[in-house]
Structure 1
Amino acid sequence: MEAMDLHCHGALGHSFDDADAAGVAAAVAYHREHGSDAVMLSLVSAPVDRLVHRVTELRRIVSDVPGVLGVHLEGPFLAPRRRGAHDPSALTDPTPEAVGTLLAAGDGILRQVTIAPEIPGALAAIRAFADAGVIVAVGHTEADYATTLEAFDHGARLLTHAFNAMPGLHHRDPGPVGAALERDDVVLELIADGVHVHPALIRALFAAAPERVALVTDAMSATGLGDGTYTLGELAVEVTDGRPVLRGTETLAGSTLTMDRAVEVCLRAGVPEDAVGEAVSTVPARVLHGR
């Protein structure tokens, strides 16, 4: 079974937000050499017109690049307080006009979008994207348990990097993770780099959601390179010992993870080998094919 990464931003100094054809091909090839047979090209938040332009460019670029699953818009429909490494000036509400424009531009290549379900217009947008065949993920959100369940009722079926950029799993307020665990049709992304999520929680998540965890890299352009200063969208990122943060902060800015290393981290955390294998193959395949 093919290993798939549903959430990847680039590698070798190339970001899928702005890399040319050669850069996109090089970044995808690097991830294919390191455990991902196919990758989703994730774009960070940007103004809608800029995303339309980039999606149009990528449709042309990826026609000659093997191993591309499509495009994932990680924004701009995110909660400002949970934006992580996204440019706050790029965030906006998902109006019908914005959703329609992105669907028209992304026809045939837009496969996935991350939305915070509590922002104005989000539930209608989730329904519109889902009805158009786009995978909708809940993420970068302040949503509580009930609002997240409502998003799933409207067609969302994925949780963007579980535990990160969302309220935690509290015993009286289960939040987005608790809501996702309740729904057998929802898959939870997991960044297993040993930084984003503690090994004990990695192990616990696999046990709590069998056959519903999808390993993702969330890898940014610094992946495959050494420490230094890079960019994610319009923001500067400092990488130290492989850990990327927004310059001058402790806010994680994606990762420098590859899928082969994610597998190793899960195995070291005590996750059974067959469960790890499913998390890179059959589980993401089920997300992509709607089963």
Structure 2
Amino acid sequence: MGNTCFGNILTPDGWCLGEIHWRDGRITGLVGEPVNPATNDHPRILPGFIDLHVHGGGGADAMQGAEALTTLARTHARFGTTSLLATTMTAPDAEVRDVLQAIATYMEAPPADAARVLGVHLEGPFINPGKLGAQPAHARAGTIAELDALCALAPIRLVTLAPELTGHHELIRHLAQRGIRVQLGHTLGSYEEGVAALGNGACGFTHLFNAMSGLHHREPGMVGAALAHADYAELIPDLLHVHPGAIRAALRCIPNLFAVTDSTAAAGMPDGEYRLGEQTVSKCLGGVRLADGTLAGSTLTMDQALRNLVAIGMTLADASDRLSRYPAAFLGLTEQGQLCAGALADLVVLDTQLNLKAVVIEGREILGESPCP
């Protein structure tokens, strides 16, 4: 592929047919004319995917440490993810500290052929024990002092917590003041508690609809708080976790709804048994479940998420925004999530059927059949 690619390029101003150029890891320019990509068979060139909720992939679980991080980051790069947040599981305190230190060590010298690890998504242990989903039973309330101690171990960018637990409104305010994003999830909180948490600085919802109090017309719950008030929320579009009709409802309500995989070690792997934190999960029929049948993360990859969103009626440009531009904006990333001069040269190339043909991370071709002259 070299340092240029030709095709239908999705820019911040819309589609153009032409060339995108990069040097030293950054986009140096785009040359082309406005186009409707449906009128030709040239490749579709999109910003690299940004996944803010990744537990594992390629048989490896993030809780297993630095070697596992290498495996999962390389695995997800093969499916178009150019940046991700390594996501922890609810676990005993010592284990959480150990994995944070491992992530920090990994980030000091990451491999060149893997998705960029932006930092940590701390999912638990500060969640409601009554809404664990597939999380192990180590949930509890957190304190400002211990969150500060954890943040000293690794760059925590995002925290999932249940706002109804004692002290968590103060904790949300503190994290927001530190510039750490807070999502509400694994929660039995009411609509009112969700709205109050947003007022205190929470800014998103973790795997919307899943592991939270649902919407009822007299008790709107946490889902109601999200649909009525959220600017951002993450959602798992594997079409198992959330029905397409519920996805469409969320799209009408939440302007910056974005996709995550919530992927486990089973992503990119055949059916069988895998680890998810301290638990064993089984991959079968495209899903991952605990022994009791509870959905336990997913096998989703971001390229499949894109195809799924298009399949339920979304335009390719809109679907791309929800895999790249919106998650980048949510984290405050200014050099990723869009194809324009000066941005990092993170891009994916797809054919007309949206099959992945090439992945470029900071100008390095990670995967590719060199479809671009």
TM-score (structure 2 length as normaliser): 0.73
Q: What are the within-5 Å matches in structure 2 for residues 76-225 of structure 1?
A: 76-88=125-137, 90-106=138-154, 109-183=155-229, 186-210=231-255, 212-225=256-269
Contact 2:189/2:222, CA 8 A, preserved across alignment: yes
Deviation at 1:101, TM superposition (A): 1.8
Match of 2:96 in 1: 51
**Matching residue's letter, 1:197:** V
Partner SS, residue 123 of structure 1 = helix
- Aligned equivalents of 1:83 and 1:255: distance in 2? 16
Partner SS, residue 235 of structure 2 = strand
Partner SS, residue 306 of structure 2 = helix
Task: Classify 1:273/1:206 alpha carbon distance in 2 versus 1 (closer, same or farther; 3 Å).
Answer: farther
Larger radius of gyration: 2
- Aligned equivalents of 1:135 and 1:254: distance in 2? 21
Deviation at 1:73, TM superposition (A): 0.7
> Whose helix proportion is higher, 1 or 2?
1
Contact 1:96/1:125, CA 8 A, preserved across alignment: yes
Deviation at 1:179, TM superposition (A): 1.3
Match of 2:116 in 1: 67
Deviation at 1:19, TM superposition (A): 3.4
Deviation at 1:240, TM superposition (A): 1.2
**Matching residue's letter, 2:244:** P
Contact 1:5/1:216, CA 8 A, preserved across alignment: yes
Check if 1:260 corresponds to 2:306. Answer: no
CA-based RMSD of the aligned residues comes to: 1.6
- Aligned equivalents of 1:79 and 1:218: distance in 2? 19
Q: Deviations over 1:138-169 (max 9, x none)?
A: 00000111100111111110100000001122
Contact 2:128/2:186, CA 8 A, preserved across alignment: yes
Match of 2:289 in 1: 245
Match of 2:62 in 1: 16
Match of 1:5 in 2: 51
**Matching residue's letter, 1:278:** D
More relative contact order in 1 or in 2 (CA 8 Å, sep 6+)?
2
Pick which of 153-162 and 273-282 moved more.
273-282
Contact 1:206/1:275, CA 8 A, preserved across alignment: no
- Aligned equivalents of 1:195 and 1:218: distance in 2? 12
- Aligned equivalents of 1:275 and 1:171: distance in 2? 30
Aligned residues: 284
> Whose strand proportion is higher, 1 or 2?
2
Contact 2:209/2:242, CA 8 A, preserved across alignment: yes
Check if 1:40 corresponds to 2:88. Answer: no
Contact 1:84/1:252, CA 8 A, preserved across alignment: yes
TM-score (structure 1 length as normaliser): 0.93
User: Percent identity of the aligned residues?
Assistant: 37
Q: Deviations over 1:45-96 (max 9, x none)?
A: 11223212211121111222251111111000111111111111x2121123
Q: Structure 2 regions of 5+ residues with no counterpart?
A: 1-46, 335-373
**Matching residue's letter, 2:172:** I
**Matching residue's letter, 1:67:** R
Deviation at 1:271, TM superposition (A): 2.0
- Aligned equivalents of 2:275 and 2:235: distance in 1? 23
